[in-house]
Homo-oligomer: A and B are copies of this chain.
């Protein structure tokens, strides 16, 4: 049976794949940075984020905690600037990112961290405040800002570090099996597209929605709920992790309250299942988006957890958001406050 051609609105497949190819071609350089960091040696790792990048680094912490004995901290840049952290030392390595290169809190943090002689690997552009400060930079060779490009580069940096520690022996297989992932992520978009339209049509104008996720998908759950729906759509959301859902938020569930569950493919899926079973009984507005329903050709089942945030971001942060925009009639690019003036 021939696959029906789906036109993806507001999404340029050609540009997407071109950028994707460039990201894949860049991975050798990412690997070399990991090798350099490993060869130099380090005591512990600080993942340094703010807003969306914090959320994107969350699954990297998950991956490291799963596979490795390494001491890893996920730090919010604004908090680190006021508090410091006594575990952050000369022997630490900091991994951070800012596509714009001018995220205020991150630039401020990297400035003092570098002064203390600490290695900072930053995913950013060279001619930016962050690009000028970091000790090592990796520049995504992309013209569009899809989160999955960042995820893949972060993954490769992290997995190579673990591989060199003999904690992730299947590194080469991961690289080989993800080289066409952006093509898969187009197919995944096409498969989900009609459902995205339907979900947005049903729920975009709801006065309040609960978003539940966990494990490797928790960061992307917050990213979608906070950085997309709150920031870009002014939609009232409550993001809560699957375990926390049962310690307060559950009492808000009613037949008219939308509950979005982003089901992942890691150890925490068990916790997601519990939310699903509960929500099925008590709301008529349950939306389950399960990354397991979206294939990546030829991928080892063990790697599904690692790519699950890339799948979710393609589904919701890109596709679903674009349909929300259609129904809220609120342009995703419009902000009333964020970065509009000094505050």
Q: A: which residues have CB within 8 A of B?
A: 50-52, 65-66, 68-69, 71, 76-79, 82-83, 85-87, 105, 207-208, 214-215, 226-227, 230-232, 234, 236-238, 240-244, 246-253, 267-268, 270-271, 274, 277-278, 282, 335-338, 343
* CB nearest neighbor in B for A83: B267
Shortest C-beta distance, A297 to chain B (Å), equals 28
Q: Is the CB–CB distance between A247 and B50 below 8 Å?
A: yes
In-complex Cβ contact of A268 among B79, B207, B238, B240 (8 A):
B79
Give Cα distance in the complex from A248 to B51, angstroms: 8
Q: What residues on B are CB-neighbors of A242 within 8 Å?
A: 78
| A223 CB, min distance to chain B CBs, angstroms | 9
Question: Which of these, B79, B83, B232, B337, contacts A250 with CB under 8 Å?
Answer: B337
> Known contacts A87-B69, A230-B252, A236-B252: does B243 contact A76 (CB below 8 Å)?
yes
Query: What is the distance, in angstroms, from A337's C-beta to the closest C-beta of chain B?
Result: 5
Query: Which residue of the partner chain, among B71, B234, B248, B278, contacts A230 with CB atoms under 8 Å?
Result: B248
Flag if B270 contacts A248 (CB, 8 Å): no
- In the complex, the answer to whether A78 meets B251 with C-beta atoms within 8 Å is no
